[in-house]
């Protein structure tokens, strides 16, 4: 696999040379794309060349917007954003364009994976996701990248079984899987069975998995009802021995991207943890 991180969270620079230099300093062989738009032809060329020379894979170009927004104008705008991002990922030859299936609640705040709405889990919700994904793929027709969706517990896409159902219903070669299993730990049963959850994810979705995120979860200590919160990998319950072993069996070039951390020392701590587990299970980094 290729370990990487969302280094832009702390780097404070969009310059691709700075991103490459930081990846080299940290020993990362994958990273999300620095900020760039589809009309910045020269910047796109520079990013591709800089990353290729350093043998760093552009793991993802993200479009964290809501494609099911109930307001028609905002929904149209968000779908255009996803289409442009997918086209950009294709031009960059990135591993994937990552987004979410969306929510009917009207939120665009996907950093916290909000999006609570009862309609998300209906047959109508399923059909709406199938419709917008097919529309985007037919419009963009990606050849060198894939559109991928991230699981989120408040949306239709809350586990591997529904992901497989969507893949079969959409049935398009441009759709693949971005796997973030921490987002599928949504209740005490999955919390205490992450090994089984991970194996289900890879058994069901393995042929479609293009990229992965590295997060972890722990129960919220002060909650009176079920509450699960995100923590640094190594401080939670996700079975990283199984996770890294299963990623390794996919491809030596599958990106594993550490995300959602505040500082460089936190990223360094997590990278050290993942490298340690990888050494125990014989996985390449």
Please give the biggest Cα pair distance in the chain. 54
Exposed, middle or buried: residue 38 (CB in 10 Å: 0-12, 13-18, 19+)? middle
> Do 259 and 216 contact (CB within 8 A), yes or no?
no
Question: Given this model, what pLDDT does residue 56 score?
Answer: 98
Average pLDDT, the chain: 95
Within the chain, residue ranges assigned H as helices are: 8-11, 16-26, 41-53, 72-92, 123-140, 160-170, 188-191, 194-205, 240-250, 264-281
Would you place residue 114 in the very low, low, confident or very high pLDDT band (cuts 50, 70, 90)?
low
224 pLDDT higher than 90: no
- For residue 139, give every residue at least 6 positions away whose Cβ sits within 8 Å of its Cβ, in sequence order, or none: 83
Return the DSSP state at 69: -
Q: Provide, rounded to the nearest whole percent, the portion of the chain with pLDDT above 90.
A: 92
Mean pLDDT over residues 44-73, rounded?
97
pLDDT class of 167 with cuts at 50, 70, 90: very high
Contact, 112 vs 154, CB < 8 A?
no
CATH architecture of structural domain 2-281: Alpha-Beta Barrel (3.20)
Query: Tens digits of per-residue pLDDT, 176-210?
Result: 999 999 999 999 999 999 999 999 999 999 999 99
* Local confidence band at 112 (pLDDT 50, 70, 90 cut-offs): very low
271 in Cβ contact with 29 (< 8 Å): no
Q: Where are the domains of the chain?
A: 2-281
Q: Structure pTM?
A: 0.95
């Amino acid at each position: 696999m290729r370990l990487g991180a969302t280094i832009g969270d702390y780097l404070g620079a969009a310059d691709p040379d700075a991103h490459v230099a930081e990846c080299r300093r940290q020993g990362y062989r994958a990273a999300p794309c620095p900020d760039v738009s589809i009309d910045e032809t020269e910047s796109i060329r520079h990013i591709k060349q800089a990353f290729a020379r350093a043998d760093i894979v552009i793991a993802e170009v993200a479009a964290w917007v809501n494609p099911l927004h109930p307001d028609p104008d905002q929904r149209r705008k968000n779908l255009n954003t996803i289409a442009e991002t997918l086209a950009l990922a294709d031009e960059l030859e990135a591993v994937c364009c990552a987004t979410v299936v969306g929510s009917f609640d009207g939120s665009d705040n996907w950093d916290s994976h909000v999006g609570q709405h009862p309609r998300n889990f209906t047959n109508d919700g399923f059909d709406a996701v199938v419709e917008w994904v097919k529309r985007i793929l037919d419009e963009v027709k990606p050849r060198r990248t894939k559109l991928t969706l991230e699981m989120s517990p408040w949306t239709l896409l809350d586990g591997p079984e529904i992901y497989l159902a969507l893949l079969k219903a959409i049935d398009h070669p441009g759709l693949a899987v971005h796997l973030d299993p921490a987002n599928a730990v949504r209740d005490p049963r999955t919390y205490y069975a992450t090994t089984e959850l991970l194996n289900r994810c890879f058994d069901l979705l393995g042929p479609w998995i293009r990229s992965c995120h590295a997060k972890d979860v722990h129960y919220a200590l002060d909650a009176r009802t079920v509450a699960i919160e995100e923590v640094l990998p190594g401080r939670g319950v996700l079975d990283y021995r199984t996770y890294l072993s299963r990623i390794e069996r996919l491809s030596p070039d599958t990106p594993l991207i550490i995300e959602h951390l505040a500082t460089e020392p936190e990223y360094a701590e997590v990278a050290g943890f993942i490298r340690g587990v990888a050494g125990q299970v014989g996985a390449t980094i």
